[in-house]
Homo-oligomer: A and B are copies of this chain.
Amino acid sequence: MMATLDLTAAQTVIAAALASARARAAKPLAVIVLDAGGHPIAFAREDGATFARLEIARAKAKGALGMGADTRILAERAKGNPVFFQSVAVALGGDMAFSPGGVLVRGPQGLVLGSVGASGDTGDCDEECVTAGLHAAGFNQEQTR
């Protein structure tokens, strides 16, 4: 269980997430890692991923952090109350995207160390790549058992 999300860890997450994307022949991805305050630590956009992918990845990661839940859960909640959640997205200045692929980075005792966001393929695929990246770097491993 990693206790710190530093630059080395963030780069490991991104490299492993992109390796996972290539292994499953995903569309080109953008992946970003944010610290606990929502500020970027590292980012990579694969060749062929459009420029908007960074913004969507960032919005997923920032939204997960801001609401304290992965965007898979937030997207599910938003279906039941779209008007409220849409107004929240606007109130947060776009720091929100209701699709899987924004995942909290958990440390010991469930402490939130930051978050990761990916965009490029389907939300499910984006999230799988993020999860693969987090596991490779030693984060969030207990959640998968």
Residues of A within 8 A of B (CB): 6-7, 10-11, 35-47, 50-52, 54-56, 58-59, 63, 65-68, 75, 78-79, 81-99, 123
Taking CB atoms, residues of chain B closer than 8 Å to A67 are 50, 52
Whether A83 pairs with B84 at a CB distance below 8 angstroms is: no
Closest 4 CB pairs of A and B: A37-B37, A52-B66, A39-B51, A59-B91
Whether B44 pairs with A7 at a CB distance below 8 angstroms is: yes
Picked from B43, B47, B50, the residue with its CB within 8 Å of the CB of A40 is B43
Copies, count: 4
Taking CB atoms, residues of chain B closer than 8 Å to A58 are 91
CA distance A127 to B122 in the complex (A): 27
Taking CB atoms, residues of chain B closer than 8 Å to A47 are 6-7
Whether A85 pairs with B83 at a CB distance below 8 angstroms is: yes
Whether A84 pairs with B99 at a CB distance below 8 angstroms is: yes
Taking CB atoms, residues of chain B closer than 8 Å to A98 are 83-84, 87
Can you list 25 pairs linking A and B with CB atoms under 8 Å apart?
A: A6-B47, A7-B45, A11-B44, A35-B51, A38-B39, A38-B51, A41-B44, A43-B44, A50-B67, A51-B65, A51-B66, A52-B65, A52-B67, A52-B95, A55-B93, A56-B88, A59-B88, A75-B84, A78-B87, A82-B83, A84-B97, A87-B89, A87-B99, A91-B95, A92-B94
